[in-house]
Each structure stands twice: as C-alpha cells, then as structure tokens.
Amino acid sequence: MANSRSALKRVRQTKVQTARNRNLKSRVKDTRKDALAAVEEGNQKAAATAYNAFASATDKAAKGGAMHKNTASRLKGRIAAKVNGLS
C-alpha cells in the first residue's frame, strides 16, 4: 500500500483513469461489433450508421489516451473498407 500523500493521490487518480479507459475501450468494442454485424447483414444504411458511431467512439478513445491514434486509424480504415464494399 502507498505510504506518502502523493502516492495515495496517484492510487486515487489511477482508479479514475482506469475506469474511464475501460469505459472508452468497451464502447469501442461494442460499436465495432455492431458495425461488423451490419456489414455481415449487407445493410448499407445500417452499416453506415454503425460505422459513424464506431468512428466517433474510436476517435474519443484515441483523444482520451485509451488507445493510440494509429490504432484508432487502422481500426476505422478496416471497418470503412468493409462498409464501402457494400455499395
């Protein structure tokens, strides 16, 4: 257990940051699954809507530091290619 005041504060901060990152990453995973499911169905409109939600969640995760910006870009590119392949 932490002994100094600064170490105790870091423990508190880490708990908050971990919860925030977990929430962001979970949202990215859920929206990614929704987008891929819409692509599998072949529904262009639903896939585009799901992709927009996925891109937004991914950008927010990258902006917040929960995910690297290159990782976010790579994931968005892969899903976008699948969505664009439907048309």
As a 3-state breakdown, the chain gives helix, strand, coil percent values, each rounded to 5, of 85, 0, 15
Q: Does residue 35 fall inside a structural domain?
A: yes
Using the predicted structure, report yes or no on whether residue 87 has a pLDDT greater than 80.
no
pTM score, two decimals?
A: 0.88
Given a contact cutoff of 8 angstroms between Cβ atoms, the answer to whether 21 and 64 are in contact is yes
Spatial distance between the Cα atoms of 12 and 16, rounded to a whole number of angstroms:
7
**Digit-coded pLDDT (tens) for 27-52:** 999 999 999 999 999 999 999 999 99
Q: Does residue 19 fall inside a structural domain?
A: no
Structural domain of residue 71, as residue ranges? 26-84
Q: Does residue 55 fall inside a structural domain?
A: yes
In this structure, the chain runs to a length of 87
Number of domains observed in the structure of the chain: 1
Q: Does residue 58 fall inside a structural domain?
A: yes
Spatial CB neighbours of 79, under 8 Å, sequence gap ≥ 6: 32, 35, 36, 39, 51, 54, 55
Q: Does residue 66 fall inside a structural domain?
A: yes
Q: Does residue 56 fall inside a structural domain?
A: yes
